[in-house]
């Protein structure tokens, strides 16, 4: 029964109640119903008193849903409000019948994510997956949603897709995609029209993912109606329940066979698997089904398009709002890149101030405001008992804005991430890419894309805040990801 969710328990209760209604006299059934309902409510109330008994603040939960509705409405705001009410670095919540403990104690986070990772190997499915029941739905098989040994197995297959040799091969594609955007930037510089920076970065991101991930020229800058883009729109508008909608245009298939892109790397594991099944019942190691390949392709889209683009958007806007920082970056680019037209792999690692800007942007605007872990085996840490199925929440946004970790956290200050300043802080004060074995495996690719896009644009254009555009502090919306509440506009001048 401990593995059953509240919905399962309620279903069993209704089923038993129905049988009792049919078989028992009405008076006895009513008495039975009152007693069992009262006992059930008492048990729920008792379960939702756990943190209070430990002297840990907990917002008042709904008897049936706990704090689930409050959390899903505004994850960032929920954490901030309750840290303030708790006047502490920790608080407790309840998601349905599961406990959720939230803390900014870095040693506690280290215990969960690193030292005792074997007790917290899994993550919670995102809320939209709760309604998905089809076993073969490809969303269930993306790496971030996998659990236990299956997660470890697929992770070991996918990791080589992001090794140094493969990342180096992507650099020309990144440069080519950014160069395509220059016609749009030139047009806005000449006309003086304000630029919707999110729209521009979206085009670059779509082109990069199409080329680097699938060797597909998706027409991001020319044709918004291509099959690739149309299918991609459905991905970002909602979680698909039919993986066939994600299929690429058949026109790209021959191209993929000729290119060493990420999708082809994953498809190679399918070919090995299918070959092995001819006359064999035992599969070789490191193979994936086509369904699971499509699942990882979806993850490439989600991480490479939505989240990476958001960091680039915030970074460019911060540079527009802080001309002195933008000029310092331009000086570094001139010194490192010089007259070279493209940004190379070697350039990227010498653009240290650019990296500081990206990290400071990710600190102020972490795209994922909170991370979670699911307890997979009962364990007690610092007096907090986690049952199998209970949740642990890492409040990334709150940690990144904590004045105990960062002086004047609301100020954009890239020097925070100079080598000497980073060395003086606990590494867990910066969690933009997660931590421990379940950290982001695409971190290096994401950082590389950010560096090339930002450096290429700043090398050729000066950015300024457009009239009537947002000022600091930026207003943010946060449900699944942190995003600005309004369209972000900038003015562009050609250098």
How far is the C-alpha of 144 from the C-alpha of 283, rounded, in Å? 24
Which residue in 304, 315, 75 sits closest to 210, CA to CA? 304
Q: Given the DSSP bridges, would you call strands 384-386 and 379-381 parallel, antiparallel or unpaired? A: antiparallel
Longest Cα–Cα distance in the chain? 91
Cα-based distances in Å from 404 to 350, 370, 414, 429: 31, 19, 18, 10
CA distance 186 to 182: 6
**Angle 167-483-321 (CA atoms, 0-180°, nearest 5)?**
85
Token pair listed for 370: 């909170």
| Percent of the chain that is helix, strand, coil (3-state, to 5) | 60, 10, 30
C-alpha torsion 340→346→349→350, nearest 10: -50
Residue 20 labelled as part of a binding site: no
Q: What angle do CA 151, 152, 155 make, to 5 degrees?
A: 80
Record the tokens describing residue 76, joined without a space: 């960032």
Distance CA 8, CA 228 (A): 40
φ/ψ of 284, rounded to 5, equals -70, 165
Measured CA to CA, the distance from residue 91 to residue 55 in angstroms comes to: 10
DSSP three-state, residue 82: helix
Question: What is the crossing angle of helices 197-208 and 308-321, to 10°?
Answer: 140
- Give binding residues for heme as ranges: 440
- Give binding residues as ranges: 440
């Amino acid at each position: 029964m401990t593995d059953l969710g509240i919905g399962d328990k309620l279903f069993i209760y209704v089923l038993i109640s129905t049988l009792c209604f049919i078989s028992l006299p009405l008076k006895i059934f009513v008495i039975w119903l009152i007693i069992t309902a009262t006992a059930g409510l008492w048990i729920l109330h008792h379960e939702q008193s756990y943190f209070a008994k430990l002297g840990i603040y907990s917002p008042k939960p709904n008897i049936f849903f706990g704090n689930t509705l409050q959390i899903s409405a505004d994850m960032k705001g929920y954490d901030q409000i309750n840290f303030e009410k708790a006047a502490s670095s920790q608080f407790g919540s309840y998601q349905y019948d599961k406990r959720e403990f939230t803390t900014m104690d870095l040693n506690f986070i280290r215990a969960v994510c690193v030292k005792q990772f074997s007790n917290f190997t899994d993550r919670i499915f995102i809320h939209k997956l709760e309604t998905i029941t089809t076993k073969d739905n490809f969303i269930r098989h993306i790496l971030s949603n996998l659990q236990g040994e299956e997660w470890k197995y697929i992770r070991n297959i996918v990791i080589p897709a992001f090794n140094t040799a493969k990342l180096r091969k992507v650099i020309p594609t990144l440069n080519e995609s950014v160069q395509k955007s220059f016609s749009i930037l030139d047009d806005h510089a000449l006309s003086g029209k304000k630029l919707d920076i999110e729209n521009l970065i979206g085009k670059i991101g779509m082109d990069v993912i199409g080329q680097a991930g699938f060797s597909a020229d998706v027409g991001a800058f020319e044709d918004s109606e291509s099959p690739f883009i149309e299918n991609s729109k459905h991905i970002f508008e909602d979680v698909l329940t039919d993986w066939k909608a994600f299929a690429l245009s058949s026109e790209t298939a021959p191209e993929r066979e000729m290119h060493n892109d990420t999708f082809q790397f994953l498809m190679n594991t399918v070919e090995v698997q299918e070959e092995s099944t001819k006359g064999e019942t035992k599969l070789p190691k490191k193979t994936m089904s086509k369904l699971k390949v499509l699942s990882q392709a979806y993850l490439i889209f989600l991480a490479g398009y939505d989240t990476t683009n958001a960091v680039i958007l915030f970074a460019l806007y911060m540079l527009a709002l802080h001309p002195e920082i933008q000029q310092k970056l331009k000086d570094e680019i001139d010194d490192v890149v010089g007259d070279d037209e493209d940004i190379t792999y070697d350039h990227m690692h010498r653009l240290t101030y650019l990296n500081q800007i990206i990290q400071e942007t990710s600190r102020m605007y972490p795209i994922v405001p909170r991370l979670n872990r699911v307890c997979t085996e009962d364990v007690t840490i610092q007096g907090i008992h986690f049952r199998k199925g209970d949740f642990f929440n890492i409040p990334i946004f709150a940690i990144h804005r904590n004045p105990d970790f960062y002086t004047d956290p609301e100020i954009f200050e890239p020097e925070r991430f100079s080598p000497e300043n980073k060395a003086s802080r606990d590494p867990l004060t910066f969690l933009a890419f997660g931590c421990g074995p379940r950290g982001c495996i695409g971190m290096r690719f994401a950082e590389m894309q950010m560096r090339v896009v930002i450096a290429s644009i700043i090398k050729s254009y000066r950015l300024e805040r457009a009239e009537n555009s947002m000022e600091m502090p930026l207003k943010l919306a946060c449900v699944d990801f942190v995003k600005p509440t309004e369209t972000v506009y900038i003015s562009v001048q050609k250098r």
